[in-house]
Amino acid sequence: MSTRDEILQAVRAWFVAAIPEIVASSTDATAPHQIIKHDAKGPRPGLPYLTVKVSTADEGVGVDEVRHADVGGGSPPEISEWRARGERAGVIDIQGHDAQGATVAAGWLECAVTRLTRPDIEAIIDAAGLTIVNRGTVLDVSALLDEEIERRHLRTIEVRYGVRDSGPGLPELLTTETSMTFERYDDHPDPLVVDIDVTL
């Protein structure tokens, strides 16, 4: 499965968990719910429904960290291995399609974001290794189609995720915990304690 497919499936799982109405309102027996890939072939589900498009993926964020290790023993070492890690970003466009005069799908776009902090939603996003970054509000992108206005709303979401490349024989990157205590000022009864996770 490609990165784009993994992002798409995670976003779909997030919306279905956040908005049970997406499943309950389905009028198409062949579709599990009312959220589909933007370029899905075949008939679309009845209104309202959502389409998801992974516009970009694997965009580099900052500079990747590269570490070198000599393995195999000997002097000089017989084998040199490299490992790298970095952060990537992707952009997802989610469109809500509604019947004339309705804003049900537009409401789904708003509701899914407001429920991001629910523990079950956080578990889905964390399991996919994603961080969700909201890129503003829901936009009305309705347009004239034939002789009628097609009701559409757009929400753009940014996702961040980590990538790593460990060569054979190299240990996985490890995370350790440390704690630091700072004195606010002399004789203050409550020092400031900060816990930090460090990936090595």
Q: How far apart are CA 25 and CA 29, in angstroms?
A: 11
Neighbours of 140 (CB within 10 A): 11
User: What is the model's pTM?
Assistant: 0.69
* Helix (DSSP H) and strand (DSSP E) numbers for the chain: 4, 9
Q: Which residues is 167 bridged to in the sheet?
A: none
- Give me the CATH topology for the region 3-167: STM4215-like (3.30.2000)
Q: How far apart are CA 112 and CA 16, in angstroms?
A: 9
DSSP code of residue 66: E
Instruction: Provide the pLDDT for residue 134.
Output: 84
| pLDDT string in tens for the chain (200-residue length) | 468 888 889 999 999 999 987 775 545 444 456 888 888 888 888 889 999 999 888 777 877 777 766 655 556 555 556 677 788 888 999 999 998 888 899 999 999 999 999 999 999 999 998 999 888 889 999 987 777 888 999 999 999 988 877 554 444 544 455 555 555 556 666 665 555 554 54
Reduce the DSSP state of residue 103 to 3 states and report it. coil
Q: How far apart are CA 155 and CA 55, in angstroms?
A: 12
